[in-house]
Chain A
Amino acid sequence: MTEITETPATATGPAHPSPLREFWQYFSDNRGAVAGLVVFAAFFLVAVFAPLIAPYPPHEQFRDHLLQPPFWQPGGTLQFPLGTDPLGRDMLSRLIFGARYSFFIGMVVVSIASFFGVVIGVIAGFAPSWLDTLIMRLMDIVLSFPSLLLALVLVAVLGPSLMNAMIAIAVVLQPHFVRLTRAAVLSERPKDYVTAAKVAGAKPGRLMFVTVLPNCLAPIIVQAALSFSSAILDAAALGFLGMGAQPPTPEWGTMLAESREFILRAWWVVTFPGLCILFAVLAINLMGDGLRDALDPKLKRS
């Protein structure tokens, strides 16, 4: 029989794009994701260069300008573009420095929660059934508490501070990663490529983290993005309840809490921190969706 040369399934030609280029190609197809990335990058740059961008230090008080409205309102000046808070501090500067806290919180919480969540989840997926059951029932117990309430209890035990709030939020978010990872591992494990790796002699560690885990990343990445935003939200909520960052820290949630009583007289003191939280969370969620589309080869059009 004559040997038939099979044509390649893709029509990309001889020069195949590098993985990074390809990733960008798929990511940039999703406009919402690009918009999210732009906003996220803007927030990130603002957070990094806060001392250079902000017109004033976040704690500097201008006693002559208490509760001054934004510049386009009667009584506002360009000296304080977004107005001042009840203590005469520049809102814009405080919001800019607040971005630092929010990103710091998001990063730390997601790193802690996803690292431990993924490791425990993969182990549960491969463990003998008694250990699997033990881990999952423990996670169910954590999940059965209302998350904010559990975070509150943990903060109450550890003492109110930003660091403790982050630890509490990470503990609350982590079972989601465990369940998600375990479910993904269980659906991947019976597949033939895992058996093939086993036949090739892969040890359990390699099987877990080199063979199976990369195929479970898509839902974990989405969960990490969503957790990033819910970490910011939860930290803001804890701050609002006085259990997170303590005044005078310019954390967005704490800023909301401080100015709660002025909500009717000076709308800007609550609106701007709220909008910052909203945009940051929305941008991260959009970006998370785009990441999933670009990172998951099964959804790619080949």
Chain B
Amino acid sequence: MSDPIFTAENVKQHYLIRQGMFADPIVLRAVDGASFVLNRGRTLAVVGESGCGKSTLARMVTMIEDPTEGRMTIDGSEILPGAASRDAVLRSRVQIVFQDPYGSLNPRQTIGKTLMEPLLINRKDVPAQERERRAREMLDLVGLRPEYFDRYPHMFSGGQRQRIAVARALMLDPEVLVLDEPVSALDLSIQSQILNLLVDLQDRLGLAYLFISHDLSVVRHVANEVMVMYLGKPVEQGPKDAVFAAPRHPYTKALMSATPTADPSRRQERIKLSGELPSPMAVPPGCPFHPRCWRASDRCRKDMPTLEGDAHRFACFNPIEA
């Protein structure tokens, strides 16, 4: 049933931060070794607190930034550094929808121009009439009225703008769609509309989604696979049902206990994590989660656990029993 389209092997993104002219630059490990596979028609959700490297991961998959280390392939062929700026076919295969629908649309361009721009740049052979026809079709596909074509973004609500952003991402017929918290800036009632639209589009077009979110109830709704990240490292990874039913990593468990349930009779014990998320510039030695973990042992403070397991993988020396 798996039909891989995109793979990432141990990708890393490190930034050098200079503090003062003479100080040695500090290495910020925004993403420190993530591996995953995106399958056609399936959704991989990436979950974690802010600052855990979710958005950096999105920027690497969309080829906005080249990874410092690691290997990414699309449809079996490797993505070389800087290839996206040269290869129109390659870059049109992965597109992105941003979190903030107010910042992601050019306020000076009509919706029509925004939708036609990707074609104008990448498909020079498509005549102007055809471009317009496809853009109007796309408006229809995402559930917007055709008369919106000549309007400017400021005339639309957040939900409508997010539909426009989805439409723009689909103009180049991508195979992979990166959704960087696509609904977290929206109203709860609008969230479900956009999520249903995304699910519907995935069924129709067979898209692979990399769905980035910090909202576990949304993830439960859309994901097939889940990857939980902490300080740039995946700590637990596996099929949604397995991860949600029996989280093995204490961090996943804590995240899940923080999600409100709709069932008042089932009072679940909420795990409160002590302490703050450490600065990614000063990651603690050993397991990065150990200062906040209630199961930490001496070994956690010295050694770094690696992801282990088959389908359901987790990086912990003292996992929660399934």
Contact = CB atoms under 8 A, between A and B. Distances in A.
B107 A195 contact: no
A130 to B, nearest CB: 15
B154 A302 contact: yes
A202 B121 contact: yes
Nearest to B117: A200
Contacts, number: 88
B157 A6 contact: yes
Between A10, A14, A199, A300, the greatest number of chain B beta carbons within 10 A of the residue's beta carbon is seen for: A199
A212 to B, nearest CB: 9
A214 interface: yes
Interface string A193-210: 101111111110010000
Given A14-B147, A199-B64, A201-B122, A9 B156 contact: yes
Contacts of B117: 197, 200, 202
Given A16-B151, A297-B107, A198 B64 contact: yes
Interface residues of A, number: 30
Interface of B: 62-64, 84-85, 88, 91-92, 95-96, 98-100, 103-108, 117-118, 121-122, 143, 145, 147-148, 150-152, 154-157, 159-160, 165, 168, 172, 192-193, 196
A116 to B, nearest CB: 23
A8 B160 CA distance: 9
A193 B114 CA distance: 10
A1 interface: yes
A257 to B, nearest CB: 45
Contact of A195 (B98, B118, B150, B155): B98
B172 A16 contact: no
A195 B64 contact: yes
Contacts of B92: 201
Nearest to A193: B106
28 contacts: A1-B193, A3-B193, A6-B157, A8-B145, A8-B155, A16-B150, A192-B104, A193-B106, A193-B107, A196-B98, A196-B165, A199-B64, A199-B91, A200-B95, A200-B121, A200-B168, A200-B172, A201-B118, A202-B121, A206-B121, A214-B108, A215-B107, A297-B108, A297-B152, A297-B154, A298-B107, A298-B154, A300-B154
